[in-house]
Amino acid sequence: MASENSRLRITEKDGITRVDFIDRDILDEANIRQIGSELLRLVDSKPALKMLLCFRNVEHLSSAALGTLITLHSSVKKKSGQLRMSDIRPQIFEVFVITKLNKLFTIDETAEHAMTRFSA
């Protein structure tokens, strides 16, 4: 589903769409727009999408990227889907806590754990 120049690695398993970020640093505005567009296309492609965003490779995340994640969360909710996040490094998680986004998003420690936590 992802194009050749995608910033994402997308896999499907047991009805769950797992998205792994390829870039270590998600800071560049053009890349953030591209990522946002790809993620929103995924949301539009399926009703009640179950999506896991895995941040295992990500070391740095800009505030613009956080805004994109908030927009994505809203889009998933509107379509009765579920969004979970996993493998967020402590320094990035701290930003989620400071901005209280850890209350908005469902965040699991590992992707493996998150995959078992989606509701039927």
In the predicted structure, residue 1 carries a pLDDT above the cut 60: no
Pair 38, 2: CB distance under 8 Å: yes
Give the pLDDT confidence score for residue 119 in this predicted structure. 82
Residue 3 lies in a domain: no
At 82-101, the pLDDT tens digits run: 999 999 999 999 999 999 99
Q: What is the mean pLDDT of residues 24-35?
A: 95
- Report the CATH number that the domain containing residue 66 is assigned in CATH: 3.30.750.24
Q: What is the mean pLDDT of the chain?
A: 94
Distance from C-alpha of 101 to C-alpha of 70, rounded to nearest angstrom? 9
Residue 1 lies in a domain: no
The number of distinct structural domains making up the chain is 1
At 30-62, the pLDDT tens digits run: 999 999 999 999 999 999 999 999 999 999 999
Residue 104 lies in a domain: yes
Residue 55 CA to its chain's centroid (Å): 8
Residue 38: in which H helix or E strand, if any? helix 29-45
In the predicted structure, residue 3 carries a pLDDT above the cut 70: no
Residue 47 lies in a domain: yes
Domain region containing 105: 8-117
Distance from C-alpha of 40 to C-alpha of 49, rounded to nearest angstrom? 11
pTM, entire model: 0.93
Give the pLDDT confidence score for residue 68 in this predicted structure. 97
Pair 54, 20: CB distance under 8 Å: yes
At 60-83, the pLDDT tens digits run: 999 999 999 999 999 999 999 999
Distance from C-alpha of 69 to C-alpha of 75, rounded to nearest angstrom? 10
